[in-house]
Amino acid sequence: MKFPQADQILVEIQNANPQNKEELEAFRIKYLGSKNIVKPLFAEMGKIDPAQRKDYGQLLNEIKNTAEEKYRKLKSEIERESARHSTQKLDLTAPPLPRKKGSRHPVDIVMNRVIDIFKKIGFSLAEDREIEDDWHNFTAMNTPEDHPARDMQDTYYLRDIEGMLLRTHTSSVQARVMTHQKPPIRIIAPGRVYRNETISARSHCQFHQVEGLYIDKEVSFSDLKQTLLYYAREMYGPDAKIRLRPSYFPFTEPSAEVDVYWGLESEIDHRITKGTGWLEIMGCGMVDPKVLTNCGIDPEEYSGFAFGMGIERQALLAYRIEDIRWLFENDIRFLRQFHAAI
Ligand code: PHE
């Protein structure tokens, strides 16, 4: 050992092992502070044999660097350790803060109820595209171009793609399914549809429908009636009454509109049923043989019924919402109210 005092300090630093903040601070003061014990050694320089001064200087630098490096390393280790300890001090038995749960959209809630009701009697789910071609939305549904019934549904056509449109009804899914599946077919098709209508409290340019289609041998109008009565009783209560009024749709023959009895007790009842007590909930009918033929199903062998209902209307009624526009504005204050529902 050429420089016993300095060598000893170096060894001391190498062996030092501060365990906590206090010990580390003591280490810092001793070796790196303004009155550290290395300083006096620099003052010794003049007493060192000139031939050895270079080595001495290097040793002192090594001492300084070793102390600095050790301090830096231990500091970050100790800090990390103490952060870990402070999380361990959390009371893990404390009840968690309430987490804000999302809520389902009222349209979704009603749509799921409708789907569940039909699932129970064997209808399976069919979903398809919202950007549809003219054929599936209209032509297959017995509404060729220039057919006056096209005026019933004011359509958004795609500007850049000839023959493409936003589907105006979920009946397009009927065509999609019938051209791909062999009867018996029993499907329910929920989804969003679009019509170029003026937006008001009562109508919107986008809304949702649920379509039903049943094709098999010897399906009759009474099967349709019974199915719809079952739906009305599940949806509106066991005493629900329905009535069918003759109507017209190009894709069904005969066609009907279905009303459910709402009652005429309050002023609101008068208002929403326009004084009749009856509320229109859907369109329906026996699938027109031409539609079957268009989709490759033999109308001599098979028959079927179809129905299509709007969802927003039923959601407005179920939750007594006065304006359909609320359903599309995504105002969190409005949507939060539907928390309790599944
Ligand atoms: N597609 C019709 C509409 O949107 C509803 C409907 C569906 C009517 C199926 C009859 C049969 O108005």
Q: 214 or 16: whose pLDDT is higher?
A: 214
Residue 342 confidence (pLDDT) above 50: no
Asked if 65 and 133 sit in the same domain, the reply is no
Residue type, 78: I
In a domain, 52, yes or no: yes
Q: How far is 142 from 178, CA to CA, in rounded Å?
A: 14
pLDDT in tens, 45-62: 888 888 888 999 999 999
Asked if 114 and 39 sit in the same domain, the reply is no
Among 88, 115, 136, the domain-final residue is 88
Task: Tally the domains of the chain.
Answer: 2
Decide whether any atom of ligand 1 lies within 6 Å of the 310 Cβ. Answer: no
Asked if 84 and 120 sit in the same domain, the reply is no
Q: What is the DSSP string of 191-231?
A: EEEE------SS--SEEEEEEEEEEETT--HHHHHHHHHHH
Backbone angles phi and psi of 259, in degrees to 5: -110, 150
In a domain, 96, yes or no: no
Asked if 81 and 114 sit in the same domain, the reply is no
Q: 214 or 269: whose pLDDT is higher?
A: 214
Lowest mean pLDDT among 109-118, 157-166, 268-277, 287-296: 268-277
Q: How far is 236 from 296, CA to CA, in rounded Å?
A: 37
Asked if 35 and 158 sit in the same domain, the reply is no
pLDDT of residue 42: 86
- Three-point CA angle 247, 274, 112, nearest 5°: 70
In a domain, 205, yes or no: yes
Asked if 69 and 181 sit in the same domain, the reply is no
Pocket test for ligand 1, best of 142, 167, 251 (most atoms within 8 A of CB): 251
Which atom of ligand 1 lies closest to the CA of 213? 9
Asked if 171 and 305 sit in the same domain, the reply is yes
In a domain, 243, yes or no: yes
Half-sphere exposure of 4 (CA within 13 A, CB side): 0
Cα(256) to centroid(ligand 1), Å? 10
Percent of the chain whose predicted confidence (pLDDT) is above 90:
65
Asked if 258 and 164 sit in the same domain, the reply is yes
In a domain, 93, yes or no: no
In a domain, 306, yes or no: yes
Question: Which residue's alpha carbon is nearest to atom 6 within ligand 1?
Answer: 308
Residue 325 domain boundaries: 106-341
Asked if 206 and 70 sit in the same domain, the reply is no
pLDDT of residue 339: 65
Average pLDDT over residues 213-221: 97
Asked if 284 and 206 sit in the same domain, the reply is yes
